[in-house]
Amino acid sequence: MSVMDRSTRLPTADEIAGINRTHLIETPLRPADLLFMFGTREDVGLRADTAARLWREGYFRGSIVSGGVTPGSEQSECTVIKAAMIAAGIPADRILEEHRAMNTGENVIFSLPIIDAALSLANIRSVICLGNTWTARRYPMTLHRHWPEVTKMLLTVDSFATPRALWHTDAEFCRRMLHEWDKIELYRAKGFIAEWPEA
């Protein structure tokens, strides 16, 4: 069955349980050295507002936004998200920028030299990954593949009215979740991601 077929059918009870248990991971948050904001066109305002709340509550000292120009827009995801973060109250000088990435792997690969030049990777011991609910653990798994040394925390947001554990009852939420879930084993096999959290 192709990935396309999987995203248009209902998942089995075992798949629902597996996704809820292993993909939709929630980690306790504690103050981190860096907030890593992965690029998106979805729920930008919600993402920026969440980052601003974390900033006000002292959960990070610096941040990086990563995301390139996607079809249908002349501005990079980074440009759009950073503007929303500033509007939400995060100081511009606390937001590093990466404007080329077109996927999660590039988000990390292209951001690491920028973080290193500005802050020194040696000074970063903990990172909060902030992104879409359906992408979930693939953010820290990608980060873990390229930057295993840092402690990773995960916070995800979405604007679906459907509770997260009932994602399978909303057609669009279900489609997005299965689309991402299908990438995990493929990406692991190709070495794009590394197991996280580690057993």
* pLDDT score recorded for residue 72: 85
Cβ of 93: how many Cβ atoms within 10 Å?
7
**Mean pLDDT computed over 132-149:** 96
- pLDDT, residue 4, reads 46
- Among 97, 113, 150, which Cα is nearest to 128's? 150
Residue 6: the pLDDT is 53
DSSP letters, 11-77, are PPHHHHHHIIIIIS-------EEEEEEE--SSSHHHHHHHHHHHHHTT-EEEEEEE--B-TT-SSBH
Q: Which tens digits make up the pLDDT trace of 3-56?
A: 445 556 789 999 999 999 999 998 999 999 999 999 988 899 999 999 999 999
DSSP state of 122: G
End-to-end C-alpha distance for the chain, whole angstroms: 30
Would you say 48 and 85 are in contact if contact means Cβ atoms under 8 Å apart?
Answer: yes
Instruction: Lowest mean pLDDT of 1-15, 22-36, 110-124, 177-191, name the range.
Output: 1-15
- Confidence band of 199 (pLDDT split at 50, 70, 90): low
Label the pairing between strands 32-38 and 151-157.
Answer: unpaired
Q: What is the pTM of this model?
A: 0.93
CATH code 3.40.50.620 region(s) in the chain: 26-156
- What pLDDT, on the 0 to 100 scale, is given for residue 1? 45
Beta carbons of 116 and 83 less than 8 angstroms apart: no
Instruction: Assess contact for 35 and 130: CB atoms under 8 A.
Output: yes
Is domain 26-156 classified as CATH 3.40.50.620? yes
The 10s digit of each residue's pLDDT in 56-108 is 999 999 999 999 998 888 999 999 999 999 999 999 999 999 999 999 999 99
The rounded distance, in Å, linking the Cα atoms of 143 and 192 is: 10
Say if residue 188's pLDDT is above 80: yes
DSSP class of 10 = P
CA distance 3 to 181: 10
Beta-carbon contacts of residue 119 (< 8 Å; ≥ 6 apart): 33, 34, 62, 96
